[in-house]
Amino acid sequence: MKIAVVREQAAGERRVAATPETVKKFAALGATLAVEAGAGAAASFADADYAAAGATIGDRAATLAGADIVLGVQGADPASLAGVAPGAWVVAGLNPFGERARVDGYAAAGLEALAMEFMPRITRAQSMDILSSQSNLAGYKAVLDAAAEYGRAFPMMMTAAGTVSAARVFVMGVGVAGLQAIATARRLGAQVSATDVRSATKEQIQSLGAKPIFVENVAGIEGEGSGGYAGEMSPEYQAAQAELVSSHIAKQDIVITTALIPGRAAPRLVSDAQLASMRPGSVVVDLAVEQGGNVEGAVAGEVVERHGVKIVGHRNVAGRLPADASALFSRNLYNFLSTFWDKEQGRPVLDDEIGDAIRLTKDGKVVNARLLS
């Protein structure tokens, strides 16, 4: 069983799908590891460290030659995977809804594409969930990005020259990224409030020492969708939430938005009028900017200014912490493959529950129900 680790080709992608730590673990299972030269350089993992862990280092063609499994962070172009074994697995974050043509390309090439972001949110798959591991880092980095753009301090400071007021941070969307943003802003000394469409998150917000901002007594308050994600809300709820948020957001210094709905454009949470109500020098960080954005006027890959408010729209936020993001991502991949490793066959054998959830293509066809519906 040959596992290939390729160098990422997407612009600005600094993560890598395996580290020397996970290479060593895969080798202990009996796999042969091949790593493309320079694959981990941007994440501070040297080729020599991969070689010491038991991997063979080579160019892309040699790395892919006869590979049974190809590991990636973002899905590689199917045309760049020539030479792999027939029916080889491509295991990566594949963005199935946003890159459907690439999924069709995997099918045409006879590859079995496994989308790690489709991992079901069940207890036994928690250690395999790339969305959670990467969102955790994104929530942390979002607060640091906000602090870097904000022209004032986060904590309250009492000095001989007077008192500096604490920054007021409002987190919209309390999933993994939002919870980490709350915790990080609190550690930096900010006054933190947060909101979500799922009423169950109120206790989580309070447990981190933040103030929950929730619409009460309106139809559609329970916004729990499938798999623990947020769902779409009733028009009555959306109107009540917009009114509540408008009055609250005008008093905030920092707003961090994290709301995503799988397979759909990100919901609009902050309008241009709400931005105009914030005081000049405020900062808004939109973690959903690559899926259409939660904030009106946000631009993917840029920091723009509207009404004196900076809107931060960095792409691939977790990837801006490449060493830690790679370490967590690669462990997700190892946890996934090792869980299903069959010692007799010397390869992973998936069960129906997880296999059917993440498998996009097989035997030349797109087979995933979420893409066919």
193 is catalytic: no
- Listed residue (223, 212, 214, 126) closest to 176, CA to CA: 126
CA distance 182 to 179: 5
DSSP for 285-298?
EETTGGGT-SBTT-
Distances (CA, A) of 174 to 67, 127, 186, 331: 40, 20, 15, 24
Per annotation, catalytic residue among 44, 80, 126, 247: 126
Task: Report the candidate in 158, 152, 159 with the shortest Cα–Cα distance to residue 169.
Answer: 152
The catalytic position among 229, 271, 277, 320 is: 229
Of the candidates 49, 104, 121, 277, the residue annotated as catalytic is: 121
Q: Is residue 126 among the annotated active site residues? A: yes
Q: Are 193 and 212 in contact (CB under 8 A)?
A: yes
**What are the backbone angles phi and psi of residue 4, rounded to the nearest 5°?**
-105, 135
Q: How many residues does the chain have?
A: 373
Name the active-site residue from 50, 60, 68, 132: 132
Which listed residue (47, 68, 129, 145) is catalytic?
129
Does residue 121 have an active-site annotation? yes
- Is residue 306 flagged as an active site residue? no
- Residue 101 sits at the vertex; the CA angle it makes with 100 and 105, to the nearest 5 degrees, is 115
* Alpha-carbon gap, residue 324 to 331, rounded angstroms: 11
Active site residue 279: no
Catalytic residue ranges: 121, 126, 129, 132, 229
